[in-house]
């Protein structure tokens, strides 16, 4: 059954986030040969329309307004509801990001629709679109289908492979005018605490530190390794509570959930709350002095040793590999 599916392209610092392309790929599956329509909301974002089309969208609808320069649930929901009213889609896909987790339930409530959140896979089976999502902090997975109404879902970053970009693809980029009113919140300034570089939730490599790093300075070797690997630095709640780093780096049940290709856990014991945020990583390497540490139970590779000796050695070896590439 061919369907029209809307995909929200999420913009950060003037660029589309990778999860936008993953959402397009998910929408292609949901559409079953129907039309995939990208949606861009913001200020001066129309230039990104072509990129969504090259990544698989058939056309793009753009809403631009100064009031949309920074995300607010009021502003973005007004626009997205107007686009839904205009396009009358059978499906809607967003990224399961901070923005998506805030916006999707609001839209679902306004539409009286169901919502499948945090999907890690989507397929068509038995005539139904089937979404797979983790439950019980990732200890199990469930499969869900929508029996009637809008097929509405958010997809977890780094789980659904984006389509290969086709530079020859072209499509219409149209605009929609929405009268944005009654904004109850206005963002005056954005203060970034996280270090610049690779987005933690979308990083292919994450080097994470726990209480074993012992201090804020102890994160420096981890940052050097992450830089060599083109990855991001994360942390356990214990490291954040000890004020070794900012809470924006926290990975776990009460922090960010990451699914990189490679997760290197340094001085992390492996509390269940932390495992909930990283156990679905494709390859997990654990470095810990305690051979009985719980982190080794989920690790693909374990190194028993002092992280302050092991991490610099890894950094040097990876540097040599990069030189010979």
pLDDT digits (tens, 9 = 90+) for 242-257: 999 999 999 998 899 9
The pLDDT of residue 137 is: 79
What is the pLDDT, as a whole number, of residue 194?
52
Q: How high is the pLDDT of residue 123?
A: 97
Is it true that 4-175 and 200-324 share their CATH fold?
Answer: yes
Does the pLDDT at position 140 exceed 70? yes
Q: In the predicted model, is pLDDT for residue 199 greater than 90?
A: no
Whether 53 and 167 have beta carbons less than 8 Å apart is answered as: no
User: Is residue 168 left, alpha or beta, with left meaning phi > 0 and alpha meaning psi from -120 to 50?
Assistant: alpha
User: What pLDDT is recorded for position 47?
Assistant: 95
Q: Domain 4-175 in CATH: superfamily?
A: HUPs (3.40.50.620)
pLDDT > 70 in the chain, percent: 98
* Token pair recorded at residue 113: 């629709």
Model confidence at 273: pLDDT above 60: yes
* Cα dihedral: 154, 156, 161, 166 (round 10): 50
In the predicted structure, residue 284 carries a pLDDT above the cut 80: yes
Contact 269, 294 (CB under 8 A): yes
Local structure of 249: helix, strand or coil: helix
Over range 190-217, report the average pLDDT. Answer: 85
For 40, phi then psi, to 5°, come to: -120, 130
Mean pLDDT over all residues of the chain? 94
Asked if the model's pLDDT at residue 43 lies above 80, the reply is yes
Rounded mean pLDDT of 115-133?
A: 95
Neighbouring CB atoms inside 10 A of 99's CB total 21
pLDDT at 55: 97
pTM above 0.85, yes or no: yes
Distance CA 243, CA 123 (A): 43
* Cα-Cα end-to-end distance for the chain: 47
Domain boundaries, the chain: 4-175, 200-324
Q: Does domain 200-324 have CATH number 3.60.15.10?
A: no
DSSP string, 34-71: S-EEEEEEESS-GGGHHHHHHTT-SEEEEEE-GGGSS-
Reply yes or no on whether the pLDDT at 36 is more than 60: yes
Q: Do 315 and 293 contact (CB within 8 A), yes or no?
A: no
């Amino acid at each position: 059954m061919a369907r029209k599916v809307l995909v929200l392209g999420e913009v950060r610092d003037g660029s589309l986030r990778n999860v936008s392309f993953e959402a397009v790929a998910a929408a292609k599956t949901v559409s079953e040969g129907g039309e995939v329509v990208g949606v861009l909301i913001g200020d001066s974002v129309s230039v990104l329309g072509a990129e969504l089309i090259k990544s698989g969208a058939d056309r793009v609808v753009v809403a631009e307004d100064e009031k949309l320069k920074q995300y607010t649930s009021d502003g973005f929901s007004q626009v997205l509801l107007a686009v839904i009213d205009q396009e009358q889609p059978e499906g809607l896909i967003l990224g399961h990001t901070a923005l998506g987790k805030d916006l999707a339930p609001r839209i679902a409530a306004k539409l009286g629709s169901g919502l499948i959140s945090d999907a890690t896979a989507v397929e068509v089976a038995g005539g139904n679109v089937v979404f797979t999502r983790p439950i019980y902090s990732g200890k199990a997975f469930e499969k869900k289908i929508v029996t009637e109404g809008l097929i509405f879902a958010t997809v977890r970053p780094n789980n659904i492979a984006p389509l290969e970009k086709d530079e020859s693809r072209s499509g219409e980029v149209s605009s929609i005018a929405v009268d944005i009113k009654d904004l109850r919140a206005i963002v005056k300034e954005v203060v970034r605490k996280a270090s610049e570089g690779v987005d933690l939730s979308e990083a292919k490599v994450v080097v994470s530190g726990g209480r074993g790093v012992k201090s804020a300075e102890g994160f420096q070797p981890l940052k050097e390794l992450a830089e060599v690997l083109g990855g991001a630095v994360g942390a356990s709640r214990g490291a954040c509570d000890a004020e070794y780093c900012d809470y924006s780096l926290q990975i776990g049940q009460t922090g960010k959930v990451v699914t990189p290709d490679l997760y290197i856990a340094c001085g992390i014991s492996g509390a269940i709350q932390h495992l909930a945020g990283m156990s679905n990583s494709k390859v997990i390497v654990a470095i810990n002095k305690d051979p009985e540490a719980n982190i080794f139970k989920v690790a693909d590779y374990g190194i028993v040793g002092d992280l302050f000796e092991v991490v610099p050695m890894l950094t040097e070896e990876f540097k040599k590999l990069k030189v010979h590439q």
